[in-house]
Structure 1
């Protein structure tokens, strides 16, 4: 594409920032609009792993792989599985040189992407309230702060409750019936040695087989973050009479709910620093597709919000952003670029969304004695990431010829 289309990216998370970075590398000047006041104005969550066959490919395309590797934690790939009594059921330690899925804090990833954009690219404090088609594929964007903009292409990178999505589909996220209470442990090796010993260098997953789980993970700077997970209705705290602003009331409730868990595991549930953060899990219908609408498309969670099992969400979001930017460069029109991008994104994200959503539902269903939840083969999983990465690069090279 030789002209300079007006490209508006709604959402300054990993997907939107990656798309903007690759577009700028191709000579385009996109504008990113985000509701947050600044890149670090809210807690973005814990740690995530970037896979060799998705997130790392996007980072390499953006010229940021070395910057990512400098921040990431190879040792964070370690994983263990315990039962609710603390007995180790399975362990995985990454081999020397294994870079298939290193960990990085979400905040570090977002800041890294933002810092490698041209100054002024991201317009903070711009919450989209309305996107109106103007004809010929152009749209008018109106923001809560009174600002407005017009664009030849609107890219919805605006996550769970995406206003941009409404231009393409009536699909809305559905609640999975699972709640997480986020817990945080600071200066863990000194202040919480029992937690440090359980979590190790990476990630620890524990379940009682009755729909309750504790998932804890090393972050940077001596922090461990965890999720206390259980099946519940959205208003569980109302039914249970629990004040979500009262940390001790929540702890008392969790001690009752997790009463069968051993004393070894209870510090993960009740020993956290600071308040619990309530999260509920939602997903879009999968596989999700839509008919082409001129001048608009979706990337990341706005396109394929899925369960967190497998860690595919952010990886796909980064790859979406990079691939859409490449398509805009290669195709002669924005319509052709969007069609090229969506034709690859739909089957890839649909397959992973179905498998991730199914895995979460099965996991949090009551486990019968003859159908235990077997831990994944992480060594094979890492091999598969590397194999698929090589296949992706081979296809990419063939398409360039």
Structure 2
């Protein structure tokens, strides 16, 4: 019997997951379905402690596959927002270059991240997630066991530790010294609430689903806008600028920051500029950080990563999908190796590493398109493909 098999047979602790995001909760759900004890530790004080982000398109080749494995497709269909798969591309003058309606095929339906997270929380037993448990550090204690240290000084030991703790993962330090670096661009996030009645021209320009506006000059700027629930418009102005450029803007001064960012879209159609100038919230800068596209690590007994902790990339439409796929596949691997932790983690990582590298390469190619010299036509070709 292998060391891993012997160790799993005498496991006294449940599988320990750090982070109650979509990936960690998908893993917890799949383990629960297989009767495997699991505890999730989350830094946030409660499920509603902060806003959970905007819309997510859940793809039929990864995210939906994960939800099938979790037995949650019916629940997922109930939270999908109809019509949001429509896509529109405009030029900066507001001219419609491409308009594709939602065909109802369900290949990439959209749902609010908060609703998706709550669906996953509702699918695991009460008490599975321990809220308000912020991790300050992790350490190996030998024999494949690890100890998690929390900010309040308490600790928990575990035979199987999973870092689902995002970009700035604490668990990652057990496996690699690699840390995220700035990816060369940031997003300025804004909202228009109840846009159809309060901002009708902008709502009409955005359409029913997702809008892209990109220059063809290679100027390193693009709008991405989603129509969310209640008719709210959630916009991101992507800017390919160094971090120092953004550091020169005082985002605590809403008026000055808005005026400075709005200068980046001088000459654009008024209904597009309104996404910045008429925002119902102060502009928020979201830097894009990344791990190397081929990021991987040598096998360390009793610990692994999933989602952004393992393969952080700038926004490319795949992050949430890959995190859930990681969680579902890791859960299935653990269940399929009932006497062998290391066999389970090896099987999971052997599939996850090349998949995440391929997704990173595709994401980098999409970013080049968005900021490229012929961005609008390249995006249209991508959507036609």
TM-score (norm 1): 0.89
| 1:344 has 2:351 as partner | yes
How far apart are the structure 1 equivalents of 2:283 and 2:329? 37
Q: 1:264 is paired with a residue of what secondary structure?
A: helix
Deviation digits for residues 259-311 of structure 1, max 9, x if unmatched?
A: 131323211221110211210101100111111000000011111111212x1
Instruction: Tell me what 1:58 maps to.
Output: 66
Question: Any residues of structure 2 matched to 1:135-150 within 5 Å, and which?
Answer: 135-150=142-157
Give the C-alpha shift of residue 378 in structure 1.
3.3
| 1:373 has 2:382 as partner | no
Question: Any residues of structure 2 matched to 1:102-117 within 5 Å, and which?
Answer: 102-117=109-124
Give the C-alpha shift of residue 374 in structure 1.
3.7
How many residues align? The count is: 374
Instruction: Tell me what 1:286 maps to.
Output: 293
Deviation digits for residues 343-392 of structure 1, max 9, x if unmatched?
A: 11111111011220233145335x279x9634244364xxxxxxxxxxxx
Aligned residues of 1:217 and 1:225 also touching (Cα < 8 A) = yes
Aligned residues of 1:129 and 1:142 also touching (Cα < 8 A) = yes
Aligned residues of 1:46 and 1:219 also touching (Cα < 8 A) = yes
Instruction: Tell me what 2:274 maps to.
Output: 267
Instruction: Tell me what 1:324 maps to.
Output: 330
Instruction: Tell me what 1:31 maps to.
Output: 39
Instruction: Tell me what 1:252 maps to.
Output: 259
Structure 2 gaps, min length 5: none
Q: 2:270 is paired with a residue of what secondary structure?
A: coil
Instruction: Tell me what 2:240 maps to.
Output: 231
CA-atom RMSD in angstroms: 1.8
How far apart are the structure 2 equivalents of 1:32 and 1:172? 23
How far apart are the structure 1 equivalents of 2:365 and 2:131? 36
How far apart are the structure 2 equivalents of 1:372 and 1:98? 24
Question: Any residues of structure 2 matched to 1:2-401 within 5 Å, and which?
Answer: 3=9, 6-95=14-103, 97-209=104-216, 210-239=219-248, 242-309=249-316, 311-331=317-337, 332-364=339-371, 367=373, 373-378=378-383, 380=385
TM-score (norm 2): 0.93
How far apart are the structure 1 equivalents of 2:190 and 2:132? 28
Residues 195 and 368 of structure 1: CA distance in aligned 2, closer, same or farther (over 3 Å): closer
Structure 1 gaps, min length 5: 381-401
Aligned residues of 1:74 and 1:98 also touching (Cα < 8 A) = no
Instruction: Tell me what 1:383 maps to.
Output: none
How far apart are the structure 1 equivalents of 2:66 and 2:253? 42
Deviation digits for residues 63-107 of structure 1, max 9, x if unmatched?
A: 111111100123110001111111111121132x40111001111
